[in-house]
Amino acid sequence: MAPNRWERPLVALVVVVVSILAILPNARAPPTLVGQPTLTAFDSDGDGRNDAAHVVQVVNMPQGTTTATLEGHLFPPTADPNASWSGWVGGASQTQTTTCTSGGGCDTNFTFDLRVPPGSPAGDYIVVLNVTVTPSITDTIIAGTQVGGTFPASVSVDDGDLLQYREGADPVGAEIAYRSTSGADGTSSPKTRAWDGSSWGGETEEATAGSPIRAIRMAHSPTAGDERIIVTQSDDGSLDAYVCRGTCTVTNDIGQVWTGAPTTPEKRFDIAYESQSGEALLVYGVVSTDPAQDIAYRTYSSGAWGPEQFLDDAGEAADIQYSVINLASKMGTNEIGLIGGDDTNNNVNAWIWDGSAFGSATEITATAENPDEEQMAIAWESSSGNLMAVAAEAASATFSFEEFTTSWSAAATATCAGITIRWMSLKPNPLASANDMILAVGDNNGDLHTCYWDGSAWAAMVTQDTTLDYSTQRAFDFAWENTGSKGLLV
């Protein structure tokens, strides 16, 4: 007759391992195991053999409110847990939250049952105990704004999730950059004004761009609170980049987007920061006859602009000219979405920058409305991190769209105008749990429409105004409030 399992005491050796996966604030002591566990063998399946043990272990919980988990693992008699952790055959755990007022901590009993799997050999099994802790912590922001992640879930487990905060000690609450006829250089120099939280400051004239300015874009650093980059596009086709930290330093003629100025208000460039690294990316439709140089880009890192690099539209063998460029940064990552339209063949394409190179190319439409204003847009969903790209169809009130999840979806269409679309502005809800967006559209009649994306489909168009002052300029915009899923259309 075969001997009963564990005829001798159930456990011949107890190995105690303490692992702290989170450091408690204010240098509080972590939970610690007190003494050896009490192990009581029993027969769990009624076959007359002891094949399980009831484990009781005292854990000293520190002062304050703490959540701790005690895990137990069974190793076969021939195993060496110190040599390999992968050989355990059974496990169980218990989690408790305690509030302790004693400076010396509070002893707390943790209990669970460990069972040997059927068919395991008889012998003295080894029990290894491991305690992990999640401290109770409070989301207190003295100054600044939580701009990403969910607290405390994003930082409770070491799984790559990110919690991002924006520093509140920014000497400039906000800043605007614009063109005006004032100043020594008139329309050839950008002007800036700062908002200190209560009022606008006086106008500052920045260094000349050398030619009358046609378009201005500004991006705010997510890592350096007072850094902004302003890029201007001038009549002569040159781009000038102003890096501002208190005062602005200009790099003139950093790119060239045309040799003869178009008659339409084309914005052939954009600037955006990587949300995680704080490095910036400038992208523009470069003047080049090389068919492999359809779009140019430069990075701004460690206080300096990188060399001009090029992106090839692989779908076009001949040289083409991109006339509209838009960028969108993905929160908490180094990814940036790019959408661009070429007015050579009226195609709209999208790419994703991963922090070092462009990839994930797709053609949104090969039959776009001639991209000579802003007939396209791109934005990331806040919760899912999916990327939405939209582009107006030629002579149509409809637009094509694709969404990137792990790959691009098939192109589909929706209606968001009464006649040909000329202007598009796509804004995602910034709430971390939201995937909705608002698309605002201006059409050829000077009508203003909006369409709502709920994270999976477009709702029916709503006409907001039929008497916009202009159809040849984008005389509207939409912005979300940071909380409450509310926004303002202007």
- Helix/strand number for the chain, H first, E second: 1, 35
Domains of the chain, first to last: 14-135 (2.60.40.10), 262-489 (2.120.10.10)
pLDDT at 30: 67
Task: Per residue of the chain (490 residues), give pLDDT as tens.
Answer: 222 233 333 333 333 333 322 222 333 456 778 888 888 888 877 777 788 888 898 988 887 778 888 888 887 877 777 666 667 777 888 888 888 888 778 899 999 888 888 777 777 777 888 887 764 444 444 444 444 555 555 555 544 444 555 444 444 478 999 999 999 999 999 999 998 888 999 999 999 999 999 999 999 999 887 899 999 999 999 999 999 998 999 999 999 999 999 999 999 999 999 999 999 999 999 999 999 999 999 999 999 999 999 999 999 999 999 999 999 999 989 999 999 999 999 999 999 999 999 999 999 999 999 999 999 999 999 999 999 999 999 999 999 999 999 999 999 999 999 999 999 999 999 999 999 999 999 999 999 999 999 999 999 999 999 999 989 999 999 999 988 899 999 9
Tell me which residue of 381, 374, 378, 407 sits closest to 390, measured CA to CA. Answer: 378
The answer to whether the bond into 152 is cis (omega within 30° of 0) is: yes
Distance of CA 93 to the CA centre of its chain: 34
Q: How many CB atoms lie within 10 A of CB 243?
A: 20
Return contacts of 146-152, CB within 8 angstroms, 24+ apart: 147/222, 147/331, 148/275, 148/331, 148/332, 148/432, 149/332, 149/432, 150/432, 150/433
Burial class (CB in 10 A: 0-12, 13-18, 19+), 161: middle
> For residue 140, what pLDDT is reported?
45
